[in-house]
Amino acid sequence: MARAEVVRSYRGISAANRRDERRDKLLIAARQIWGEAGASEVTVRRVCAASGLTPRYFYEHFVTRDALVLAVAEQVNQELFTTLVDASQAEPGTLERKLLRALTTYLDTIAADPSIHRILTSDTHSVAGLEELRSRAVGIVTDLVMQYSAEFLDTPTNPQLRRQEALFVVGGINQLVATWLDDPAQPTTEVAALCTELALAVVNRVP
């Protein structure tokens, strides 16, 4: 008979909670290193040094260094997607108002933590799976744009055409945001207003 695993508490913290805390420390350290120095600098040695953990605990959670990098990218993408959705749902007004609120909040979030953009725009070929993750994130945001377009626009259109338009909108906004971050002197409200105006010009056009 296999011996049951003994799960001990330490200072009132369960073994499972301690594992979760160690994982969080690794993610925080990797995210900071990536944001400040680039993905190539996210190494097992540097992450362990920054988190105060040994390699033993690193491999307790991540099979490879690339697995950690992917976990950080997934975390950032999920945070930004949640920011977009929450901000748009908090605005009860028109499609224009929802887009403006969501984009302003999105830009303010990135402006408050410039490392986010560096993580989102790193070379996708440097880590296996990163390109797929980026494509999936673009697809999720594209679906969100299509959803709101369908809710607020009465004109029936070809679904394939609508998706192409939504992809164009998402790609264009990403490029504008990238350009803005190179020289973030323009207020986030102005950039969000421009992105909203251009997005509406696409989705409101007569097919």
Instruction: Please give the Cα distance from 107 to 21 (Å, whole number).
Output: 29
Q: What fold, for 66-203?
A: Tetracycline Repressor; domain 2 (1.10.357)
**Where in the chain is CATH 1.10.357.10?**
66-203
Inform me whether the pLDDT recorded for 121 exceeds 70.
yes
Using 50, 70 and 90 to split pLDDT, how confident is the model at 6? very low
Predicted local distance difference test score (pLDDT) of residue 123: 76
pLDDT digits (tens, 9 = 90+) for 151-163: 776 655 677 888 8
Distances (CA, A) of 19 to 22, 49, 59, 79, 204: 5, 18, 12, 22, 50
CATH top-level class for 8-62?
Answer: mainly alpha
Q: Average of pLDDT values for 140-156?
A: 76
Average pLDDT, the chain: 85
* Least confident interval from 103-112, 113-122, 132-141: 113-122
Which part of the chain has CATH 1.10.10.60? Answer: 8-62
Q: What's the pTM?
A: 0.81
Contact 66, 128 (CB under 8 A): yes
Residue 74 has pLDDT above 50, yes or no: yes
